[in-house]
Amino acid sequence: MIDAWHAFLLQCRHVMSILKIYKWTVACSALVVLLLLLPAQIFPKTPRGMLELDKIVHGFLFGIVTAVFCAEHRRWARVDPPLLLSFVIIGTFSFLTEVSQLATKTRHFDLKDFGADLIGIAAGLLLMRLIAGMAQK
């Protein structure tokens, strides 16, 4: 029993050290979840058009989360995070935020929002790769 408790405490310590490394990513992600779950009525209505402001905001939010993650990973590991794995993990987070909106009365799952999130994630990954490449020169 003591060995299991000791292993649990070691795991907790490991998780806390990872959270410490990625503290700004966690903070940005929590803010994104909060913003996406707030009642829709508190945000101003935007006219429906070809390019909806809502989609731009989604892309921007997930682009920021991705850029912060890349910066923290680069600072800690001294290399860029794996491109595909980062896209899949942050994309899964994006999908879960869309699904979680189904639990609210004023929000809903929107495939276009999810697409905008994925575009923001890809843009964040590519932008941070470019910045890292320019910094190495």
In terms of C-beta distances under 8 Å and separation of at least 24 residues, what long-range contacts does 110-116 make, across chains too?
112/52, 112/55, 113/54, 113/55, 113/58, 115/55, 116/54, 116/55, 116/56, 116/58, 116/59, 116/62
Task: Specify the length of the chain in residues.
Answer: 137
Contact between 121 and 91 (Cβ < 8 Å): yes
Mean pLDDT for the chain overall: 90
Query: Percentage of the chain with pLDDT > 90?
Result: 64
Is a pLDDT exceeding 90 seen at residue 92?
A: yes
Please give the share of the chain, as a percent, with pLDDT higher than 70. 94
The arithmetic mean of pLDDT across residues 78-107, rounded, is 94
- Quote the pTM value: 0.86
- The residue-averaged pLDDT of 49-67 equals 88
DSSP 45: P
> How many beta carbons lie within 10 A of that of residue 72, not counting itself?
18
Which element (helix H / strand E) includes 84? helix 83-100
